[in-house]
Amino acid sequence: MIIAIDGPAASGKGTLARLLAEHYGLRHLDTGVIYRAVAKAVLDAGLDLTDEAAAVQAARGLDPATFGDVALKSQAMGSAASVVSAIPSVRRALVEFQRQFAAAPPGAVLDGRDIGTVICPDAEVKIFVVADPVVRARRRTLEARSRGEAADEAVILADILARDARDQSRTVAPLKPADDAHLLDNSQLDIEGGVRAAIAIVEAVRAGRSRS
């Protein structure tokens, strides 16, 4: 089974995806980490994030062992990832990596921005997670402060809105729900509530398919 979870930054899709994977015994891939790793590689090389050749080279040379680097979790790296992810050739370079991960047994939960529309259009279950931008900014601020980072909620909100606009307007794989995606509004749900809602969606889809 492949479960595709998409949504904007700080909507809670990553946490939902990880916990869904645990619940169903599937593997989990946070595809945002891939783009963060590409951005970090470009920056570590002292190059500009808009350097297409450098970004593509970084995408082709990704080492999954680096995906756990805590530096990838920073707000700054998230913003940097949004820049490189808008480069069409970078997205093309990473498509096969993601598809191979999803196809390996016993299945996987992938979260990102184009999983249900581009990476896994045939996923058994597609969930599009949304949340109010102000709520998302508050959550991201608390996360940053819990890691000991200085965080200005107003600055983070502005960054989230800018990322939303960039993700939704890019020419390749823009952020949008797949036609058959199930909407999950995570604005007022805690983690347990969000997971329950996501499981309910998965079970409803599976029940519908078993009847058919």
Judge whether residue 33 has pLDDT over 70.
yes
Residue 60: other Cβ atoms inside 10 A: 12
pLDDT digits 0-9 by tens, 84-120: 988 999 999 999 889 999 999 999 999 999 999 999 9
Domains by residue range for the chain, with CATH: 2-198 (3.40.50.300)
**pLDDT (0 to 100) of residue 74:** 86
Q: Token digits for 138?
A: 């508050």
pLDDT digits (tens, 9 = 90+) for 137-150: 999 999 889 988 88
Q: Give residue-wise pLDDT tens across range 38-91.
A: 999 999 999 999 999 999 999 999 988 899 899 998 888 988 998 998 899 999
- Grade residue 211 by pLDDT with cuts at 50, 70 and 90: confident
pLDDT one-digit tens code per residue, 195-208: 999 999 999 999 98
pTM of the model: 0.86
- What CA–CA distances, in Å, run from 129 to 30, 126, 158, 211? 14, 10, 20, 26
What was the pLDDT predicted at 202?
97
The mean predicted confidence, pLDDT, of the chain is 93
pLDDT band at 170 (very low <50, low <70, confident <90, very high): confident
Torsion of CA 76, 78, 80, 82, to 10 degrees: -150
pLDDT of 78: 87
pLDDT band of residue 192 (cuts 50, 70, 90) is: very high
* Separation of alpha carbons 156 and 139, rounded Å: 10
- Of 206, 38, 95, 70, nearest to 146 by C-alpha is 70
> What confidence score (pLDDT) does residue 212 get?
60
